[in-house]
Structure 1
Amino acid sequence: MPPPDPGSAPPPALALHDVSKRYGRRWAVARLTYALPPGRSLLLTGHNGSGKTTLLRLIATALSPTAGRVEVLGRDAVADREAVRRDVALLSHASFLYEDLTAHQNLMVLGRLLGVDAAEDVTDGLLNRVGLSRRTDTPVRGFSAGMRKRLAIARLLMKSPALALLDEPFGELDPAGIQDMEGVIAELKAGGTTVVLATHLIEQGLTLCEERLHLQDGRAVVA
Structure 2
Amino acid sequence: MEAPAAAPPALAIHDVSKRYGRHWALARLSYTLPQGRSLLLTGHNGSGKTTLLRLVGTALSPTHGRVEVRGHDCVTHLETVRREVALLSHASFLYEDLTAQQNLVVLARLLGMDSPKDVADELLTKVGLTKRSDSPVRQFSAGMRKRLAIARLLMKSPAVALLDEPFGELDPAGILAMEKIIGELKSSGVTVILATHLIEQGLALCEERLHLQEGRAVAA
AA partner of residue 159 (structure 2):
A
1:27 aligns with 2:60: no
Structure 1 unmatched ranges of 5 or more: 1-5
Give the alignment of 1:64-79 within 5 angstroms.
Answer: 64-79=61-76
Q: How far apart in 2 are the matches of 1:23 and 1:203? A: 31
Give the alignment of 1:144-155 within 5 angstroms.
Answer: 144-155=141-152
Of stretches 19-28 and 115-124 in structure 1, the one that deviates more from structure 2 is: 115-124
Q: How far apart in 1 are the matches of 2:115 and 2:196? A: 30
TM superposition shift of 1:39 = 2.3
TM superposition shift of 1:118 = 4.8
C-alpha distance 43-133 of structure 1, shift in aligned 2 (>3 A)? same
1:91 aligns with 2:56: no
Of stretches 106-115 and 155-164 in structure 1, the one that deviates more from structure 2 is: 106-115
Paired residues of 1:91 and 1:152 also in contact (CA < 8 A): yes
Residue of structure 1 aligned with 2:122, choices 125, 128, 143 = 125
AA partner of residue 164 (structure 1):
A
> What TM-score, normalized by structure 1, do the two folds share?
0.95
Equivalent position of 2:179 in the other structure: 182
AA partner of residue 128 (structure 1):
T
Q: How far apart in 2 are the matches of 1:119 and 1:183? A: 24
Segments of 4+ in structure 1 off by > 3 A?
none
1:13 aligns with 2:20: no
Equivalent position of 1:82 in the other structure: 79
Residue of structure 1 aligned with 2:132, choices 135, 139, 142 = 135
CA deviation string 1:18-63 (max 9, x = no partner): 0110011111011111111112110000000000000000000000
Q: How far apart in 1 are the matches of 2:13 and 2:112? A: 30
C-alpha distance 131-11 of structure 1, shift in aligned 2 (>3 A)? same
Structure 2 unmatched ranges of 5 or more: none
User: What is the identity percentage for the equivalent residue pairs of Structure 1 and Structure 2?
Assistant: 77
Equivalent position of 1:59 in the other structure: 56
> What TM-score, normalized by structure 2, do the two folds share?
0.97
